[in-house]
Chain A
Amino acid sequence: MIQITQKENQSRWVSLGIPIVAAVLSLLLAAIPLAFTGASIPDAYVQMINGVFGSLFNFTEMLTRATPLIFTGLAAAIAFRAKLWNIGAEGQLYLGAMAAVWVGTGMVDGPPILMIPLVLAAGAIAGGLGMLGPALLKTRFGADEVVTSLLLNFIILIFLQMMLEGPLKDPMGLGWPQSEPIIDNAILPQLITRMRLHAGFILALGTAVVAYVILAMTVWGFKVRAVGENAAAARHAGIAVNKTYLAVAMASGALAGIAGVSEVAGLKGYLTADLSPGFGYTGIVVAMLAGLSPLGVIAASLFVASVFVGADSMSRAIGVSSFIADLIVSMSLICVLLGGFFARFNLRWDRNKGGGS
């Protein structure tokens, strides 16, 4: 029988090193499916690296791709720290994008200094309310937020399609189910001319730092951590556990909502039902890779975005399916989870204690 015992103390270097080793390992493991396609493996890796670091444009494309992942990764990380399982970031992202389009397509107008905070706030509130529902169901009735927040995604997606065919539909859109474009004053500015990288990236970095500071250095962050680690002891110690869940839900949903605003007002300019290729779900992977650390989310987002952008470029160059990117990201997650397990527990093969119950 294998005996599993928890290690006394986990070194800081081990917990930092695991995700990095896992990332490298998953990239190396990608050689196996690549070999099956018959492609030249060194060539494939060169194309992947080129796709990310080959030119300034490629690099900024990677950063552009990382931007929504940082927001959704933070949304998942903060919620998961409180053991509030928000699986609905995808839906909250669309709620945020819809709110941005609703106020940002001519309903009000003003200088960018007012309009940009306005669309961001609108998206944050919409996303936050999107998670508040499942959190209320959890605190009031004990409904499992994994189920409610996940299923809400599909409801929101159908609602979005209804809105894009109805009130939000662009009359000039030649019948396509898309919204009117965001007005210029509400567009997040470009960071570098002729590159798609926009101010949302800077905002994402800043948000991650703020999230780190809040979790590590404030009373509120203390409460979130205490509730997540031991809700019973937190309640006994006088922390309002349900209130904390609701506040975390608002914060998490708001971050996912801002991801939607950033995409629609920073990149696309108008809203369609394919705004997000699953950024909400990938955010969960990012958060797990990051060990739920807000600063780690930045690194994990850059890694995941690199894999996606690099694999895209590789598939264009040598004709391998870009699904290889999903494979690498999945393998890296498995590597991190396994690595985290081995870092936390000692495994011992025990011959004498067989047949234990």
Chain B
Amino acid sequence: MTKRFGSVVASDVIDLDLQHGEVLALLGENGAGKTTLMNMLFGQYTPDAGTVHVWDDAGNETILPAGQPQAAIDARIGMVHQHFTLAENLSVLDNILLGAEPLFSLVRHRRDAREKLTRLMDDSGLIAPLDTRVGDLTVGERQRVEILKALYRDVRILVLDEPTAVLTPQEADTMFASMRAMVDRGLSVIFISHKLHEVQAFSDRIAVLRHGRKTGEMVTKDANTGSIIRMMVGEDLKVPPRVAGVPKKPILELQDIHTSGAGGGQGLSRLNLTVRGGEIVGIAGVSGNGQSAFAGLVSGLVQPQSGAMSVSGKAMPKPNPKAMLDAGVGRIPEDRHHDGIVSAMSVAENLVIERLDAPDVQTRGFLRKTQIAAHAQDLTQKYDVRGPGIEARSALLSGGNIQKLILARVLETNPDLILANQPTRGLDFKAASEVSRRLFEARDRGAGVILISEDLDEVLSLADRILVMHDGHLQETDSRDRTVIGLMMAGGRVT
């Protein structure tokens, strides 16, 4: 299966096969192509090349027509998404029936449904209270409802996308036992996970994707943690020689910081970090381990509940974005469309939005349009921001050019500290290397740079120091060994 998005090849001639009654684990870093592949399986994306073949119980082969979700449903392929797709105000039974009943039917066969579900629950051991509102269930119970929802539709192939991301270990164990029971009855499972010990315990076979390609496949019982990680992060890619930074005086100091999670995510606990000028500090880790809270803290969007933060020696007890900007912190946000630009406003306006108080932007509250335009003209040239012009809505720029716009805005003020959160995500190689070059330039000028990235290659090639974020903690490592760092990302403590 091949799928390109513009110049990015998200899935590059991937072959994958799944046997009857088998659990296939699909491994890979974020952006490796797992989701793209699954979306093609479900007909959400139309592949540029390749087909999906399905065999029914009698052994008859069908080729699923491309780009038709209904075909996947008819072939009895089901998926449990990482983020629940349940209606909280409906009962468990109604959630399971939702979409499985004809829209204009006058009668609902709830008794039949109940009987079938009871049978399913007996068979699988996945028990859920059918008449309780989903909003009143625990996360583990909701997960079970999601799986029951798929099983109710008689799926033969079930895709589980990081099913244990929100479960406690005990809940996860119960779920795996139930799934194993269903697999023994002939269900086939594709299991997407970052957690190696689960993959090793639950799967029969492992396939590894990396940068849109399948880089390896092995039978689980022949695999060990080291060999899996090597396939995931790859040892073939040589890290280009890099010039080390020259650390100067500390710029950002974090002492014993606690925060709650941004938007219900993972918070930070007992976080200590010192970032000096002239160094790039790389923060590796699987997303959802506190990176959002950490980025929010340094951006001024998240308040520390306890602990001390100071920037260039100045204490920041109650940070806000303006105060952090004034203290010389430049921020490249993770979601450049959502947090980085106001897409309905012009390129010129977006270039000055962080320094509306500056004398070249305003006099006595009035915008200096000529100066702003000249400034934009200058910066778009210097940073090679291409688009329909400085007065055009910034929504018309491509992702790479939006990132260059943000880089121009951040770097032009010569910040003492730069927070780069996933700065090359979704960018093609050329745009990504431009970002790296600019970050090196800023470091050599004497700025401290914090690089948050899920891409270990990027961290290894850019960072002078590497820390791994897991469960809201930062752990520093001297190692540049992918296996060691990979284990730390998975929560292991390796010395």
Residues of A within 8 A of B (CB): 8-9, 217-220, 222-223, 225-226, 229-230, 232-240, 353, 355-357
Contacts and interface: CB of A to CB of B under 8 A. Distances in A.
Interface stretch (B88-96, B129-137, B143-151, B339-347): B339-347
A233 B388 contact: no
Contacts of A222: 349, 353, 356, 367
B325 A355 contact: no
A218 B356 CA distance: 10
B354 interface: yes
Nearest to A225: B345
A150 to B, nearest CB: 24
A233 B341 contact: yes
Contact of B301 (A9, A218, A220, A236): A236
Nearest to A241: B321
B69 interface: yes
A19 B227 CA distance: 66
8 contacts: A223-B356, A225-B345, A232-B339, A233-B338, A233-B353, A236-B321, A237-B353, A239-B356
Interface string B295-311: 00001110000000000
A235 to B, nearest CB: 6
B195 to A, nearest CB: 29
Given A229-B343, A355-B68, 6 more contacts: A8-B396, A9-B392, A226-B342, A230-B344, A236-B339, A357-B44
Nearest 4 pairs of A and B residues by beta carbon: A238-B322, A229-B344, A238-B321, A230-B342
Contacts of B396: 8-9
Contacts of A8: 396
A356 B69 contact: yes
Among A220, A226, A237: residue with most chain B CB under 10 A: A237
Nearest to B357: A219
A280 B307 CA distance: 50
Interface of B: 44, 67-70, 299-301, 320-322, 324-325, 331, 333, 338-345, 349, 353-354, 356-357, 361-362, 365-367, 369, 388, 392-393, 396
Given A217-B366, A218-B365, A357 B69 contact: yes
A236 B419 CA distance: 13
Contacts, number: 81
B331 A236 contact: yes
A337 B228 CA distance: 57
A110 to B, nearest CB: 31
Contacts of B321: 235-238
Contacts of A220: 365
A344 to B, nearest CB: 12
Contacts of B366: 217-219
A226 B365 contact: no
B365 A219 contact: yes
Contacts of A239: 322, 353, 356
B342 A229 contact: yes
Contacts of B388: 9
Nearest to B321: A238
B69 A355 contact: yes
A353 B343 contact: no
Contacts of A9: 388, 392-393, 396
Contacts of A217: 366-367, 369
Contact of A226 (B67, B70, B345, B361): B345
B300 to A, nearest CB: 8
Among A8, A217, A222: residue with most chain B CB under 10 A: A222
Nearest to A8: B396
Contact of A218 (B324, B333, B349, B367): B367
B359 to A, nearest CB: 12
Contacts of B367: 217-219, 222
B340 A236 contact: yes
Contacts of B340: 233, 236
A240 B44 CA distance: 40
A3 to B, nearest CB: 13
Contacts of B353: 222, 226, 233-234, 237, 239
Nearest to B349: A222
B160 to A, nearest CB: 19
B69 A234 contact: no
Contacts of B324: 238
A9 B341 CA distance: 18
A320 to B, nearest CB: 43
Nearest to B333: A236
B356 A233 contact: no
Contacts of A234: 342, 353
Among A233, A234, A355: residue with most chain B CB under 10 A: A233
Nearest to A234: B342
A229 B344 CA distance: 6
A202 B379 CA distance: 43
A353 B338 CA distance: 29
B365 to A, nearest CB: 5
Nearest to A227: B342
A247 B365 CA distance: 15
Contact of A219 (B69, B338, B339, B362): B362
A239 B325 CA distance: 11
A229 B70 CA distance: 37
A118 to B, nearest CB: 26
Contact of B345 (A229, A240, A357): A229
A238 B69 contact: no
A223 B320 CA distance: 17
A233 B69 contact: no
B428 to A, nearest CB: 21
A8 B396 CA distance: 7
A15 to B, nearest CB: 13
B118 to A, nearest CB: 29
Contact of B354 (A229, A230, A238, A240): A238
